[in-house]
């Protein structure tokens, strides 16, 4: 078990334990297609997520990451070149943000991937599974390999660790 102290632009003094090996022992219903560093290198969240490169995450995650140079969202940094995100304020208003993960689902996933297990895991995995409706729409409406079909929906599912390049 490894203790981690999170101190970054959005959270300070939060401590948690990594009790599982990195990338291992996931809940049987949780099968993400992509790892957090793969997502960051493909281009997600307009480069805005983790622009401050929080020290709790491996530096190697940021080597190939497409990050905003100015703290603003840039849709051209996304794999599909479109904006597919709602502002954090919307997520907060809807009650989708757990206090321990103030940046949202992707922060939860990064910590889960690195071995943290948490009271919010079941809810977050349920939310992840709900995105399959968008995966199904892409598979049903787009020709296999057509990466130009439904780019906003493709970008949105990428934000949830689904890889539509294989649909």
pLDDT in tens, the chain (167 residues): 999 999 998 999 999 999 999 999 999 999 999 999 999 999 999 999 998 999 999 999 999 999 999 999 999 999 999 999 888 888 899 988 999 999 999 999 999 999 999 999 999 999 999 999 999 999 999 999 899 999 999 999 999 999 989 88
Phi, psi (deg, nearest 5) at residue 30: -110, 105
Phi, psi (deg, nearest 5) at residue 7: -140, 105
Look up the domain containing 149 and give its range. Answer: 2-166
pLDDT at residue 85, as a whole number: 87
Number of domains in the chain: 1
CA atoms in the 13 A half-sphere facing the CB of 81: 3
pTM of the model: 0.95
In order, the DSSP letters of the chain are -EEEEEESSS-EEEEEEE-S-TT-S--TT---SS-HHHHHHH--GGG-TTTT--TTS-GGGGTS----SSSS--GGGSTTSS-----HHHHHHTT---TT-TT-HHHHHHHHHTTB--TTHHHHHHHHHHTHHHHHHHHHHS-TT-TTSSHHHHHHHHTTT--GGG-
| Cα separation values, 9 from 6, 113, 147, Å | 10, 21, 35
């Amino acid at each position: 078990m490894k203790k981690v102290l999170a101190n970054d632009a959005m959270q300070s003094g939060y401590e948690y334990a990594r009790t599982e090996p990195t990338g291992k022992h996931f809940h049987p219903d949780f099968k993400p297609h992509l790892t957090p560093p793969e997502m960051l290198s493909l281009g997600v969240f307009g480069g805005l997520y983790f622009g401050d490169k929080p020290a709790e995450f491996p530096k190697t995650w940021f080597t190939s990451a497409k990050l905003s140079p100015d703290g603003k969202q840039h849709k051209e940094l996304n794999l599909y070149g479109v904006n597919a995100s709602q502002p954090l304020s919307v997520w907060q208003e809807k009650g989708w943000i757990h206090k321990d993960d103030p940046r949202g689902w992707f922060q939860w996933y990064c910590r889960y991937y690195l071995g943290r297990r948490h009271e919010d895991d079941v809810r977050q995995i349920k939310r992840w599974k709900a995105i399959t409706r968008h995966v199904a729409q892409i598979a049903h409406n787009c020709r296999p390999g057509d990466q130009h079909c439904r780019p906003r929906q493709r970008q949105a599912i990428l934000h949830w660790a689904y890889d539509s390049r294989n649909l």
